[in-house]
Chains A and B, each alone.
Chain A
Amino acid sequence: MEAVKTSEKTTLQVKRFKPSENPTTNFFTEERGLKAWLTTVDHKKIGLMYLGAVAFFFALAGFLAIALRTELWTPAKTFIEADTYNKLFTLHGAMMVFFVLVPSIPAALGNFILPMQLGAKDVAFPRLNLASFYIYLIGAVFTFIALFMGGFDTGWTFYTPYSSDGDSATVIWVTLGVFILGFSSILTSTNFMTTIHKLRAPGITWDKLPLNIWALYATSIIQILATPVLAITILLLSLENIMDIGIFDPAKGGDPVLYQHFFWFYSHPAVYIMIVPGFGIISEVITTFSKKTIFGYWAIALSSLAIAFIGFLVWGHHMFTSGQSPVATTIFSFLTFLVGIPTGIKIFNWVATLYKGSIDMKTPMLYVFIFLFLFSIGGFTGIMLGALSVNIHLHDTYYVVAHFHYVMMGGTLMALLAGLHYWWPKMTGKMYNETLGKVAATLIFIGFNMTFLPQFVMGAQGMPRRYYNYIDQFTPFHQTSTVGSYVLGVAFLIILYYLVKSLMSDEKAPANPWESRGLEWQSTSPPDLHNFDHTPVVINKPYDYHRPMEEFQLGLAVEHNGHGEAHDVDVKETEQENS
């Protein structure tokens, strides 16, 4: 037993708790059975259920993407009708945004990892956490009802008056679905914010928060401020469809540009809801696999908050051609460039972290490299689209399609894959096949660029988005893109194969296969039902790879009722000082 100072005020008695390599119980073995899963309030099980749901929707929407690309093999009809095509791209977009990208990292991985990185036993409101999962499912059910009623072809943006003057029944169902889904985001982020503020283990001061937590914190802020505005927008749109209230539909006295303002006030920050959590994962993985402290901790942490803040002021850059006022257009363009700066800062800091590191090119790290390359392209093309006169030319062409796929798929999804592979042994207790992992990552890189690089070219040449037919000159680009999408499809099947196979194998993953210093790795794999069998105490910064591993495995020496007994009051003081 040794005494370690955690702050200038408090002295805690701590001792080392090395995670067992052969734990007798874990959160899978406790609370078994379907009913236990469906009624669980354990953040880990909820996270995994989210992961399953997200994977399901990703597979579905990905399959739609393959169908869309196949249809685009020829300039005219290939195998589906125009109306079907329009419904499929709407569904692809709506599902990928609302059911996959928004909840993927925060609700699935974040739910699992966030309390562990804070040394907490659970999120602040576990029952609310379960409720938000079910709300998410109910939102999905509404969307499926719309689907079975014949589908909807409005585009995922639901622009009025197109969305309010046609067959409105299906639009009502899907918009109500999105409305309900919003509450799921709101509850999750309320939970995360409270957890980060109030449930940190002794010693975790704000400057010792892992960057993943900073990223999730920034994401929660955006979700809390933006999602309610989406909710009210969607509600008004539904009312427009139900009883013609005349706010957005010009035929009834409303204004379609007002709708676009309302919609993008959420949906632009939503882009950051999708990408900022990815930034968190990149910081975790890049330090672990270069065994080195992060370069520019505060630059990365604060740039997430800067992005969250500036991200609210740039929504109008989706509307440069819409007919909004010229003054607004100018201001929105200017602010758009400002949001590029913190993003650039992050990329440079990550690259600098690699300098003189001990770089181990395992699968998660490979995805980080792919992320850095693809996301950079996404960023540069974003600068291109922010430039006013160029935007006029490129708006609503395939250039935009390629840009947001580089950001969302090349950014968020690559980060998600990095995180999934990185935390897979922790979450499941099993190890996947490293060789297949690298093969799949390479295929994704090739397939991705093959799919989306040609889209930049044909977009700049004038190919508009959401086109079922196209003029002949674009055929070679479309065909290359389609082949690329098949390569991507194969790569994802390989990932599915080796991940499922790892689940069925008997081989156990070590508690900390990457020798990470992260607090979540100082538990068993998979973790105990309450994450740790002690109260963790943190004395080092999260990426202090120059400090010995023992210093990252500390916990309160004297436990009583699961908490630090005599030091209860002292510990509380530390926390108040922290918060």
Chain B
Amino acid sequence: MANHSATHPAHVQHHFVDSDQQFESAKMGMWVFLVNEILFFGGLFTAYIVFRAWYPDLFTQAAQELNKLWGGVNTIVLIGSSLTVAMAIRSAQKNQKRGLELNLLFTIILACVFLVIKYFEYEHKLHLGIAPGSFWNPTPEILAELSHPKANIFFSIYYVMTGIHGLHVLVGIGLMIWLYIRARKGHFSSEYYTPVEITGLYWHLVDLIWIFLFPLLYLIE
């Protein structure tokens, strides 16, 4: 059986007929994976819906403790990072190595900004004793505002949802760093930019989930 030869480009794995087939496959694989992710978060959203239906007062009351301003800033930060990822893909398609590197770098920075803001939000809450589950131990002042007996459940849901989302952001940063290193080495071109494209898909989903989380958790009136 004939194996790789000069006309079979190096980036095409042996079991694919050509570059297009490999690209199409990778893209489809990522879409299927994203369907997975949506259902994974879907379970959490279901838990959210169920508890909100049971305790509507709890949700309006507890949401007041979340910082709308910083939540909003984070939303803008993430939308910005989606833009830079899209621009990174565009650069790759146009063979602009420098543009690709810069845009990946911007994305990484924005993702880090998101996590830093998230860190300060968490820090502030934990300081007030607003912690998940058995660590729930709010200060008397907070307790006066949060009179609902099931207040801890709202924050359990809040921490689980934002925590898992945060983990996804962290994974995204890891992937972007890997892409950045490969981009520096010149692995990508208009011929082959599959990893950039499918990581971009992943990143858009991570943003999209935040765009749902933000109003559902922060903006309850």
Q: Do A's and B's CB atoms come within 8 Å in the complex?
A: yes
Which residues of the other chain, A, contact B25 by a CB distance below 8 angstroms? 124-125, 194-195, 197-199
Residue of B nearest to A532 (CB): B1
| A228 CA / B150 CA spacing, docked (Å) | 27
| Interface pair A568/B18, CB less than 8 Å apart | yes
Interface-lining segment among A237-245, A272-280, A510-518: A237-245
Interface centre among A227, A561, A571 (most CB of B within 10 A): A561
* CB contact under 8 A between A228 and B29, given known A247-B156, A561-B2: no
Residue of A nearest to B135 (CB): A243
Chain A CB within 8 A of B216 CB: no
B1-58 residues at the A interface, CB under 8 angstroms: 1-5, 7-8, 13-18, 20-21, 24-26, 28-29, 32-33, 35-37, 39-44, 46-47, 50-51
| Interface pair B160/A245, CB less than 8 Å apart | yes
Which residues of the other chain, B, contact A246 by a CB distance below 8 angstroms? 133, 150, 152-153, 156
| A292 CA / B197 CA spacing, docked (Å) | 47
Chain A CB within 8 A of B129 CB: no
Chain B CB within 8 A of A359 CB: no
Which residues of the other chain, B, contact A122 by a CB distance below 8 angstroms? 15
Residue of B nearest to A122 (CB): B15
Which residues of the other chain, B, contact A254 by a CB distance below 8 angstroms? 153
When the two chains form the complex, which single residue of B14, B149, B156, B164 contacts A245, counting CB atoms closer than 8 Å? B156
Shortest beta-carbon distance from B198 to chain A in Å: 11
| A151 CA / B29 CA spacing, docked (Å) | 37
Which residues of the other chain, B, contact A197 by a CB distance below 8 angstroms? 25, 28
Residue of A nearest to B50 (CB): A258
Chain B CB within 8 A of A224 CB: yes
11 intermolecular pairs with C-beta atoms under 8 Å apart: A194-B32, A225-B35, A231-B40, A243-B132, A245-B156, A246-B153, A528-B1, A530-B15, A562-B8, A568-B17, A572-B20
Interface centre among B4, B133, B153, B164 (most CB of A within 10 A): B133
| Interface pair A198/B36, CB less than 8 Å apart | no
| Interface pair B133/A194, CB less than 8 Å apart | no
Residue of A nearest to B155 (CB): A245
When the two chains form the complex, which single residue of A124, A186, A232, A562 contacts B2, counting CB atoms closer than 8 Å? A562
Shortest beta-carbon distance from B12 to chain A in Å: 10
| A146 CA / B41 CA spacing, docked (Å) | 27
* Contact digits for A173-204, partner B, Cβ 8 Å, 1 yes 0 no: 00000000000001001110111011100000
Which residues of the other chain, A, contact B201 by a CB distance below 8 angstroms? none
Shortest beta-carbon distance from B5 to chain A in Å: 5
Residues in A lying within 8 Å of B, measured CB to CB: 120-122, 124-126, 128, 186, 189-191, 193-195, 197-199, 224-229, 231-233, 235-236, 239-240, 242-247, 252-255, 258, 262, 528, 530, 533-534, 559-563, 568, 571-572
| A252 CA / B134 CA spacing, docked (Å) | 9
Chain A CB within 8 A of B157 CB: yes
Closest 4 CB pairs of A and B: A232-B43, A243-B133, A245-B156, A228-B40
The count of residues in chain B whose C-beta lies closer than 8 Å to any C-beta of chain A is: 48
Which residues of the other chain, B, contact A128 by a CB distance below 8 angstroms? 29
| A235 CA / B164 CA spacing, docked (Å) | 10
Residue of A nearest to B14 (CB): A121
| Interface pair B24/A198, CB less than 8 Å apart | yes
* Contact digits for B98-138, partner A, Cβ 8 Å, 1 yes 0 no: 00000000000000000000000000000000001111000
Main secondary structure on chain A at its contact with chain B?
A: helix
When the two chains form the complex, which single residue of A120, A199, A228, A258 contacts B37, counting CB atoms closer than 8 Å? A228
| A242 CA / B131 CA spacing, docked (Å) | 13
When the two chains form the complex, which single residue of A253, A528, A568 contacts B152, counting CB atoms closer than 8 Å? A253
* CB contact under 8 A between A560 and B35, given known A199-B15, A568-B18: no
| A224 CA / B17 CA spacing, docked (Å) | 26
Which residues of the other chain, A, contact B7 by a CB distance below 8 angstroms? 560-561
| Interface pair B15/A227, CB less than 8 Å apart | no
Which residues of the other chain, B, contact A560 by a CB distance below 8 angstroms? 2, 7
Which residues of the other chain, B, contact A125 by a CB distance below 8 angstroms? 25-26, 29
When the two chains form the complex, which single residue of A193, A199, A229 contacts B32, counting CB atoms closer than 8 Å? A193
| A478 CA / B156 CA spacing, docked (Å) | 46
| Interface pair A190/B156, CB less than 8 Å apart | no
* CB contact under 8 A between A258 and B42, given known A247-B153, A533-B1: no
Which residues of the other chain, B, contact A528 by a CB distance below 8 angstroms? 1
When the two chains form the complex, which single residue of A229, A233, A243 contacts B134, counting CB atoms closer than 8 Å? A243
| Interface pair A572/B1, CB less than 8 Å apart | no
| A190 CA / B51 CA spacing, docked (Å) | 32
| A125 CA / B17 CA spacing, docked (Å) | 14
| Interface pair A124/B29, CB less than 8 Å apart | yes
| A562 CA / B7 CA spacing, docked (Å) | 11
| Interface pair A199/B21, CB less than 8 Å apart | yes
| Interface pair B152/A186, CB less than 8 Å apart | no
Residue of A nearest to B23 (CB): A198
| A124 CA / B17 CA spacing, docked (Å) | 11
Residue of B nearest to A128 (CB): B29
When the two chains form the complex, which single residue of A126, A224, A253 contacts B35, counting CB atoms closer than 8 Å? A224
When the two chains form the complex, which single residue of B5, B28, B157, B159 contacts A198, counting CB atoms closer than 8 Å? B28
Residue of A nearest to B149 (CB): A253
When the two chains form the complex, which single residue of B1, B29, B33, B44 contacts A232, counting CB atoms closer than 8 Å? B44
| Interface pair B15/A229, CB less than 8 Å apart | no
| Interface pair B33/A190, CB less than 8 Å apart | yes
| Interface pair A198/B2, CB less than 8 Å apart | no
| Interface pair A561/B153, CB less than 8 Å apart | no
* CB contact under 8 A between A120 and B36, given known A198-B28, A246-B152: no
Which residues of the other chain, B, contact A121 by a CB distance below 8 angstroms? 14-15
| A228 CA / B40 CA spacing, docked (Å) | 5
| Interface pair A559/B14, CB less than 8 Å apart | no
Shortest beta-carbon distance from B142 to chain A in Å: 18
Residue of B nearest to A571 (CB): B17
Which residues of the other chain, B, contact A530 by a CB distance below 8 angstroms? 1, 14-15
| A122 CA / B1 CA spacing, docked (Å) | 14
| A554 CA / B159 CA spacing, docked (Å) | 59
Residue of B nearest to A120 (CB): B15
Shortest beta-carbon distance from A528 to chain B in Å: 7
Which residues of the other chain, A, contact B29 by a CB distance below 8 angstroms? 124-125, 128, 190-191, 194
Shortest beta-carbon distance from B127 to chain A in Å: 18
Residue of B nearest to A233 (CB): B43
* CB contact under 8 A between A190 and B32, given known A120-B15, A245-B160, A247-B157: yes
Which residues of the other chain, B, contact A225 by a CB distance below 8 angstroms? 35, 39
Q: A190-B29, A246-B152 are in contact. List 8 more A-B contacts (CB 8 A).
A: A224-B36, A228-B40, A229-B42, A229-B43, A232-B42, A232-B44, A246-B156, A562-B14
| Interface pair A572/B17, CB less than 8 Å apart | yes
| Interface pair B43/A194, CB less than 8 Å apart | no
* CB contact under 8 A between A232 and B40, given known A121-B15, A224-B35: yes
Which residues of the other chain, B, contact A571 by a CB distance below 8 angstroms? 17
Shortest beta-carbon distance from B126 to chain A in Å: 13
